[in-house]
Amino acid sequence: MNLLKSLIAILILTLAALGFASSAGLSYLLTVIIPYAAFAFFLIGFVYRVVQWAKSPVPFRIPSTCGQEKSLSWIKANPLDNPSNVLGVIGRMALEIFLFRSLFRNTKAEILQQRLVYGGAKWLWFFGLLFHWSLLVVVLRHLRFFIEPISGWINSLSVLDGFFEIGVPTLYLSDAALLAGLSFLLLRRICAPRIRYISLFTDYFSLLLILGVVVTGILMRHFFPADLLQVKNVALGWVIFSAVDPQGVGTLFYMHLCFVFTLMVFFPMSKLMHMGGVFLSPTRNLANDNRRKRHINPWNAPVKVHTYEEYEDEFREKMKLAGLPLDKE
Ligand code: HEM
C-alpha cells in the first residue's frame, strides 16, 4: 500500500511536470520562481534541522564502542572502534562517512535447523556505497551547467567517468552504478518481506523520487537529447540571479527539474537528512574517555542535599540511645 501511494505521488509529479511544460506561464513558474523557492526551502530547512540537533544537550559521553577501551599500557586498545581522543574520533568518522564502516560490520541472523546462526550481510553495504558515491559524482559533474568556464577538474571527472567510451554519447559509469545501487535499494524494500513490513511511504518515495531524477536524466542524455545550450543558459541564469525561461528545451527537462525541486523541498523533512545528521550523532562523534575524566552534566539543576554528617548531627542523641554506631561521638 505504501509503495502504491508513493507510485501515485510520482505519477502526480510527472503529470504536474507535463502541465509545467505545456503552458508558458507555468513554465516560467518552474524555471524562474520555483528554483529559488525550492533552494531557499532546502537551505533553511537543512540549517534549521542541523541547528536543532546541535542545540540538543549531550551532557555525557555516549559513544557506541565496538572494541577495547584505552586503559593500562599492556592492554591493547582499539583506537578506531573505541576512540579515546579527537584524532581517533576523526578516523572513526572518516571511515563511517566515506566507507560506511558500521554497515560493513552488519550481520544477519537466521534460524537454521532450529539454531540461531549469524552470517555476513555485505550486499547492503556494497550497493549503499555504490549509490552514494555515484550520486556524488553525478552531482559534481552537473556543476558544468552552473559554472563558466568549466573548471578543469569537472572535465577530468567526466572523462574519467566515461573512461570506457561505451556508446555515443559516452555512457557514464556513475550513471550505471547509480541505477544499479538504486535498483538494489528499492528491490530490497519490495522483495524482502521483513524490510517491506517496516517500510513507510517516505522510504519508497525518497527512492522513487531519486529514481525519477536519474531515469529522466539518462533518457535526456541517451535517447531524447535536451537542448544543452538552453539548459546552460537556464542554470547560469539562476546563478547570476537573472533567470530565463527556456523555449522548446524538451518535456523531459521539465520532469527532471520537477523531481529535483520536489527532492529539495522534501529533503529537510525526510530521513535523507542523515546526510547532515551523521556528523551530529553523539554515539559516533564522541571520544570515550569516561574513565579518565569525570563528565558533569552542565545542565544539572542545583539539588539541596542532606549529607550523612548532617544526618548524624541531627539524630546523634537518638542513635546513641538506640546503640547505633556513630562516626563522631
Ligand atoms: C539532485 C540533483 C540531480 C541529480 C541527482 C541529477 C541526475 C542526473 C543524471 C543521473 C543524469 C544522466 C546523465 C549524467 O549523469 O550526466 C542527468 C542528466 C541531466 N541533468 Fe540532471 N540531476 C540533478 C539535477 C539537475 C539540475 C538542477 C539540472 C538543471 C540544470 C539538471 C540537468 C540535466 C541535464 C540537462 C541532463 C542531460 C545531460 C546530458 O545530456 O549530458 N540536472 N541528471
- The string of pLDDT tens digits covering residues 220-245 is 999 999 899 999 999 999 999 988 88
Residue the block writes with cell 563522631: 328
pLDDT at 328 over 80: yes
Q: How many domains does the chain have?
A: 1
In a domain, 33, yes or no: yes
In a domain, 84, yes or no: yes
Residue type, 251: T
Torsion of CA 186, 190, 195, 199, to 10 degrees: 80
With CA atoms as reference, report the closest residue to 138 among 158, 166, 160. 158
pLDDT tens by residue, 40-88: 999 999 999 999 999 988 888 899 998 999 989 999 999 999 999 999 9
Mean pLDDT of 117-134: 93
Q: What is the structure's pLDDT at 42?
A: 98
pLDDT at 247 over 90: no
Work out the pLDDT band at 259, boundaries 50, 70, 90.
very high
**Is the distance from the beta carbon of residue 211 to the nearest atom of ligand 1 less than 6 Å?**
no
**Is the distance from the beta carbon of residue 246 to the nearest atom of ligand 1 less than 6 Å?**
no
Ligand 1 atom with the smallest distance to the CA of 135 is 5
pLDDT at 298 over 80: no
Mean pLDDT of 275-302: 88
Q: What is the structure's pLDDT at 172?
A: 94
Whether residue 185 contacts residue 204, with contact meaning beta carbons closer than 8 Å, is answered with no
Q: What is the structure's pLDDT at 198?
A: 94
In a domain, 238, yes or no: yes
Q: What is the structure's pLDDT at 201?
A: 95
* Test site for ligand 1: of 221, 229, 239, most ligand atoms within 8 A of the Cβ: 221
Q: What is the structure's pLDDT at 106?
A: 85
Work out the pLDDT band at 249, boundaries 50, 70, 90.
confident
Q: What is the CATH number of the domain that holds 189?
A: 1.20.950.20
Mean pLDDT of 182-200: 94
**Is the distance from the beta carbon of residue 260 to the nearest atom of ligand 1 less than 6 Å?**
yes
Work out the pLDDT band at 115, boundaries 50, 70, 90.
very high
Comparing 167 with 51, the larger pLDDT belongs to: 51
- First vs last C-alpha separation in the chain: 77
pTM, full prediction: 0.87
Q: Whose CA is nearest to atom 18 of ligand 1?
A: 217
Work out the pLDDT band at 95, boundaries 50, 70, 90.
very high
Point out which residues pair with 112 in neighbouring strands.
115
Q: What is the structure's pLDDT at 88?
A: 94
Instruction: Return d(Cα 262, Cα 33) in angstroms, integer.
Output: 14
**Is the distance from the beta carbon of residue 212 to the nearest atom of ligand 1 less than 6 Å?**
no
Query: What angle do helix axes 2-22 and 201-222 make, rounded to 10 degrees?
Result: 40
Q: Whose CA is nearest to atom 38 of ligand 1?
A: 221
C-alpha grid cell, residue 109: 541472523
C-alpha grid cell, residue 76: 591493547
Ligand 1 atom with the smallest distance to the CA of 138 is 15
Domain range enclosing 248: 2-293+304-321
**Is the distance from the beta carbon of residue 177 to the nearest atom of ligand 1 less than 6 Å?**
no
Half-sphere exposure of 168 (CA within 13 A, CB side): 0
Residue type, 65: T
C-alpha 283, offset from chain centre: 16
| Strand intervals (E) in the chain | 107-112, 115-120
Instruction: For residue 120, give Cα distances in angstroms to 105, 107, 187, 197.
Output: 8, 5, 19, 22
**Is the distance from the beta carbon of residue 249 to the nearest atom of ligand 1 less than 6 Å?**
no
Q: What is the structure's pLDDT at 94?
A: 96
Ligand 1 atom with the smallest distance to the CA of 146 is 30
Ligand 1 atom with the smallest distance to the CA of 235 is 30
Q: What is the structure's pLDDT at 274?
A: 95
**Is the distance from the beta carbon of residue 145 to the nearest atom of ligand 1 less than 6 Å?**
yes
With CA atoms as reference, report the closest residue to 188 among 123, 139, 233. 123
Residue 142 CA, ligand 1 centroid: distance in Å = 6
* Mean of pLDDT over the chain: 92
Ligand 1 atom with the smallest distance to the CA of 178 is 10
**Is the distance from the beta carbon of residue 213 to the nearest atom of ligand 1 less than 6 Å?**
yes
In a domain, 328, yes or no: no
Residue 24 CA, ligand 1 centroid: distance in Å = 23
Least confident of 46-55, 209-218, 284-293: 284-293
Residue 100 CA, ligand 1 centroid: distance in Å = 26
